[in-house]
Amino acid sequence: MADGRNIGHIVALEGGVADVRFPGPLPEIGNHLVALSDPEIDIEVATLPSADTARGLVLNPSPELRLGLAVHDTGRPLTVPVGEGLLGRMLNLFGDTIDNKEPLANLPRRSIHGGVVPLAKRRVESEIFETGIKAIDLLSPLEKGGKAGLFGGAGVGKTVLITEMIHNTVAEYEGICLFCGIGERCREAEELYREMEAAKVLDRTIMVFGQMHESPGIRFRVGHAALTMAEFFRDDLRRNVLVLVDNIFRFVQAGSEVSGLLGRMPSRVGYQPTLGTELADLEERICSTDKGTMTSIQAVYVPADDFTDPAATHTFSHLSASIVLSRKKASEGIYPAIDPLTSFSKMLTPGTVSDRHYTVARAVRNTLAEYEELKDIIAMLGLEELSEKDRAVVKRARRLERFLTQPFFSTEKMTGNPGTFVRLEDTLTSCERILADEFADRPESDFYMIGTVDDLERDQAGTGTKTDAA
């Protein structure tokens, strides 16, 4: 002990792991250690390998890190500030501002390791969280107070889709929006901040980032820090909270790096043996209570488009809706590249959604499934060899496929097409009219990148020729 503080010294360094020997009592697992250096170096205790040694993850290594460096045990876990003063700010894991504005006022702090809400205190919602994106609201409706995942490989549009959801939902959402960037590129963080500011929703938004270049310990813990802030607004201020995460796979990846640094034996496909537990510790904190709802939309990178990858399969089990993005759809020019036959939502059941919604969604899915089965025959024999009934199904399905594309607000500058927000009722009406073959005389290309079928009637004079998707 020195000055009443529990002081130890670093006796071993390997990668991002430090062994600290304490002559006095050992710190607990999860405690926050601070090196007595300038700048300060933060270490989180991960294991206790011997009776006098704590092994921890170095969160912000610097050239000052060396053997023999004195380390102070704070006696508590990592904490982050909570309160309304966070609104409109961009923060890191430690709650420090990274938006070049004035530092935060003195705010109360809480441990990043929040407890899971008991089942008896949870509340289940049966209300749709409308996004204004036709393909999602029709075929994979999100649950208010639930968790939704956007699954896809590299370059199929996960970040664009989650940015569009932010644009569409935050402006109308009567609550707090918290964006958590795990392993984000610096460019994406900066662009998102500017978009939030332009949309005039920054005053109800908090952004927390553990960026790509930072240590695995920071990327592993930033999700927990963000949820601590979200829980404060839900439980203490009784506000509804929308949590957006990009990207959950980076959390799993950081956990794998941490596990390797600590010398644990890898499990299937090289992931950490504790993958399921670590993911559950994060995901199970996202829930609704009698005090407020917490809705989450998460992007999930799928390595090599392999949906049997453990990171993807473990994430699937926690979600109420899964939106699968297809590289094949993207290559055909279908944007958003949502695969309607592999995406699902537990909300799309009779009694949860309206009878009309269920009937239309089922009819659309069946039509697209029939078309998928006929594709092999078309490829071998040609469309002309199909029966008249099957040809009608194919034409109907191709119109629906193109109708479910949508111009986004977030891509207006790149495409030149103004974005559209489509109400669920308008989507249902449009699909009913397409299924009834009201537009059998219109070419398929007319349905590409429109809002509702009312746009077809406005374009009757032939203005605004649309590009056909392959």
Annotated binding site for ATP: 152-159
Is 185 a catalytic site residue?
Answer: yes
Beta bridge partners of 295: 242
For residues 360-387, one letter each, b for 16 or more C-beta atoms within 10 angstroms of the residue's C-beta and e for the rest, the string is: bbebbbebbeebeebeeebeeeeeeebe
**C-alpha angle with apex 372: 368 to 375, nearest 5 degrees?**
135
Element containing residue 431 per DSSP (H, E): helix 424-435
Calpha distance 233→291 (Å, rounded): 10
> Residues forming the annotated binding site?
152-159
In this structure, the number of other CB atoms found within 10 A of the CB of residue 359 comes to 15
**C-alpha angle with apex 189: 186 to 192, nearest 5 degrees?**
145
Q: Out of 89, 147, 158, 204, pick the active-site residue.
A: 158
Q: Out of 164, 184, 214, 401, pick the active-site residue.
A: 184
Is 466 a catalytic site residue?
Answer: no
Q: Out of 66, 76, 185, 362, pick the active-site residue.
A: 185
Residue in 117, 38, 113 with CA at minimum distance from that of residue 79: 113
Kindly state the tokens that stand for 340.
């309607």
Calpha distance 305→19 (Å, rounded): 39
Is 184 a catalytic site residue?
Answer: yes
Identify the residue whose tokens are 């629906």: 400
> CA distances (Å), 215 to each of 41, 71, 212, 299, in order?
12, 19, 8, 21
Calpha distance 454→436 (Å, rounded): 15
> CA distances (Å), 193 to each of 66, 160, 229, 245, in order?
37, 14, 18, 15
Burial of 300: CB neighbours in 10 Å, binned 0-12, 13-18, 19+: buried
SS3 call for 445: helix
* Reduced DSSP (H G I as helix, E B as strand, rest coil) percent helix, strand, coil of the chain, to 5: 40, 25, 40
Q: Which residues are catalytic?
A: 158, 184-185
